[in-house]
Amino acid sequence: LGAGSWGTALASVLDENGHEVLIWARRQDQVDEINNKNTNEKYLPGVKLSKTLRASSNIDQVVDGAEFIVLGVPSQQIRSVCSDIADKIGPDQVLVNVAKGIEKNTSKRLSQVCSEVLPQNPYCMLSGPSHAEEVSRKMPTTLVAASENLDISQGVQDLFMNEYLRVYTNTDMVGVELGGTTKNIIAFGAGILDGMGYGDNSKAALMTRGIAEISRFGVALGAQKETYAGLAGMGDLIATCMSPHGRNRAAGQKLADGKTMDYIINHTN
C-alpha cells in the first residue's frame, strides 16, 4: 500500500523474489504509468520496473486475499489507511510496516496505531539503513524485521531476503521503531553542520553523542540498549546523517543556509 519511492522499491524486491505483488496508488495516472510504462519516474527516476509488477487504485482489490500487506504510506497516514482496510481484511493477514515515525496527535508508535485499528492482525516493522534509490538499483542493503513474535519476523525475513538485500530479525520492536524515528533528529543536526561548513570532526561528535542520547531515550521507553548498536540504531543513523538522499539531513542544511521552515517543508522531497 503506497507507491512512493520506498513502497515501489520494496514491491520490486518482492516481485523479483517470485511473489505476486500488487501496488496500491491513490492517483490513477501513477497506476497507469506503472502498468503501461513500467516506471515510476516521480519517485524512482531512471528505474525500469518489472512487467509483472502491477498497480491498482482500488484498495479493496489490492488487499483481497493478500498474505502480507506492506504499509508503505507516510507515517501520518498509517491510521487512516488501516481504517480504510479494517473491514476488508482477515485476522491472518500480516501487516508489514515500513514507515518510520511517531503519530503527531497521540505521540504513539506506529505499531500502537496499527494495534488500535487492526488488533487481530500480526504486525512486523521493517527498518534499517536503507535508501529506496539504492535498493531499486540492487545495491547491497541490510534491514531488520522486528516483531514481538519471532515467527512473524522470520516470515518477513524470508519474504524480502535475496542476494543484495539481507534481512535480520529482532523482537525488540520498541527499539527498532524508536531507533528509526529519533535518528532523524540527529540527522537534522548533521545537516545544520554541513550547512555551516563544519567537517568530519563535528559530525563524528554529533553522531556518537547522538546515538548515546537516543539509546537512553529508547531504554527509558522499554527498548533494549543493544538494539541501538545495530542496524536499526547506529546503522540507520550513519546512513541518514551521511547520505545526500537523506531528507532530514537536507532539511537541516537548508536551515543553516538561511531558508525558512515553511520553505524547507515545501521544498524537501
Catalytic residues: 183
- Residue 38 contacts by C-beta under 8 Å, 6 or more apart in sequence? 48, 49, 50, 51, 53
Residue listed under C-alpha cell 476488508: 88
φ, ψ of residue 198 in degrees (nearest 5):
-80, 170
DSSP 70: E
Give, as one character, the DSSP assignment of residue 47: P
In three state form, how does the secondary structure of 86-132 look? CCCCCCCCEEEECCCCECCCCCCEHHHHHHHHCCCCCEEEEECCCCH
Residues 101, 105, 95, 136, CA torsion sign: negative
Closest CA to 109 of 81, 79, 80, 85: 79
